[in-house]
Structure 1
């Protein structure tokens, strides 16, 4: 993982966040999650989303399953039963910073979810190297997204393009292929991003 890229995202986020909690951004579907030292639990949205962990470690409870959240990694928050949220228990020794982006069933369908034309792996690369490339691309996309927060006049045009790129990376990732099969069935809305 490119440490410079992650440090840039941390720097941008730390300037925008003043306290622990969940921050709604002007970018559709994008939420910032921050757990300062000593915070035990954060609540994420009750929607299918990709969560990119920028700093810290923890455990996420999604669909009554525990997922380890590693720094510089991502996971999928799967919707809970009605009234429950995906809860992230953060490591007490370090700030926890993460970005959560709603995954749209409509956008996935436009990109060809379930279709044979979606390439699942580059030829000539190992699955681990391929997954690391996807992770780096995801960090690049999220960095471009949060940089738009300082250019609000560009959000309406540029954010949907970047969000669709993130959806494509989700579709071709190993973690998405290995997700719980009912994840898409649990989506209650089909709005675009």
Structure 2
């Protein structure tokens, strides 16, 4: 949120800011990441800076109360902290890095899932900038506004008022989505949800791949499905996700296989066939390349741990 130092803007009182930090500290209770009773809201806490950690970035908004983080997607760097928020409009492969944190002043923040249907609905009801027809990267950093900061503070405060969550959380989430359309990321969001735009077509391609990742992929068929030429699909897909459609499918397959081995206790060969691989040796090579270790050793290292959650961003 807004920088709460003596030299920074004071959109929120110091007492209110400290109260929100205390909510995060109390609710996490010694953990680094935690979902909350508020639907679609998760919290994070880090006491030290880190090297980049591979993660899956869901469509979400990330607000930092204290400290600073960085998201790496392809060759793009997105730094966000007290006065800048991260927004991702697609499921993306990334690496999350903590840039500012210490035991005395940990990096604290929250993540809220983004509802693109709500963005589309609100954009039809309010006056927003006209979106260009091109497609930007699937993530961006926006400038925090006092209204957005205040709304997010009220959403976090519901953690301490569980009886009000069912009534108030949907209203505050809708307000947050509305206020996003009053920030400098509004046009980018519109390019994802505007029917017929390149961004919206790529979002449809991503949705198809997420549902059909185990099926053989012909880029020509995917392009026809979203009404684009193969060359245009490849160009805009890579621009938004930093991957080609085939690379994105491989990333989906390998992450699902990892989840199956860890949570459903499948062996490597079983997981490989389940996600669409015909060759266990090819699966092992590509798995090692993505996760840094062969399947068995990687899963042994993860035993007892949860896979990175939404809050890791």
- TM-score, with length taken from structure 2: 0.48
The separation in 2 between residues aligned to 1:91 and 1:67, in whole angstroms, is 12
Aligned residue in 2 for 1:87: 95
Aligned residue in 2 for 1:102: 113
**C-alpha contact (below 8 Å) 1:33/1:42 kept by paired residues:** no
Residues 64, 47 of structure 1: alpha-carbon distance in 2 compared, 3 angstrom cutoff:
farther
**C-alpha contact (below 8 Å) 2:46/2:101 kept by paired residues:** no
**1:118 Cα deviation from its structure 2 partner:** 2.0
Residues 107, 147 of structure 1: alpha-carbon distance in 2 compared, 3 angstrom cutoff:
same
The separation in 2 between residues aligned to 1:42 and 1:56, in whole angstroms, is 17
The separation in 1 between residues aligned to 2:89 and 2:166, in whole angstroms, is 27
The answer to whether 1:118 aligns with 2:123 is no
The separation in 1 between residues aligned to 2:71 and 2:152, in whole angstroms, is 20
The answer to whether 1:146 aligns with 2:160 is no
**1:180 Cα deviation from its structure 2 partner:** 9.7
Which of structures 1 and 2 has the larger relative contact order (alpha carbons within 8 angstroms, sep 6+)? 1
Secondary structure of residue in 2 paired with 1:158: helix
Secondary structure of residue in 1 paired with 2:185: helix
CA deviation vs aligned residue, 1:58-105 (integer Å, no higher than 9, x gap): 211246521011223212134344xx3x43211254321121111101
Secondary structure of residue in 1 paired with 2:57: coil
The separation in 2 between residues aligned to 1:136 and 1:76, in whole angstroms, is 17
The separation in 2 between residues aligned to 1:149 and 1:31, in whole angstroms, is 10
Aligned residue in 2 for 1:33: 44
Aligned residue in 1 for 2:146: 136
More strand by share: 1
Secondary structure of residue in 2 paired with 1:101: strand
5+ residue gaps, structure 1, are: 121-130
**C-alpha contact (below 8 Å) 2:61/2:85 kept by paired residues:** yes
Aligned residue in 2 for 1:125: none
**1:160 Cα deviation from its structure 2 partner:** 0.2
More helix by share: 2
The separation in 1 between residues aligned to 2:156 and 2:162, in whole angstroms, is 10
Coordinate RMSD, CA, aligned: 3.0
**C-alpha contact (below 8 Å) 1:55/1:72 kept by paired residues:** no
5+ residue gaps, structure 2, are: 1-8, 130-141, 193-198, 209-313
- TM-score, with length taken from structure 1: 0.74
**C-alpha contact (below 8 Å) 2:128/2:181 kept by paired residues:** no
Structure exhibiting the larger radius of gyration computed from Cα positions: 2
In the alignment of these two chains, the number of paired residues is: 173
Aligned residue in 1 for 2:83: 72
The separation in 2 between residues aligned to 1:169 and 1:158, in whole angstroms, is 16
Secondary structure of residue in 2 paired with 1:165: helix
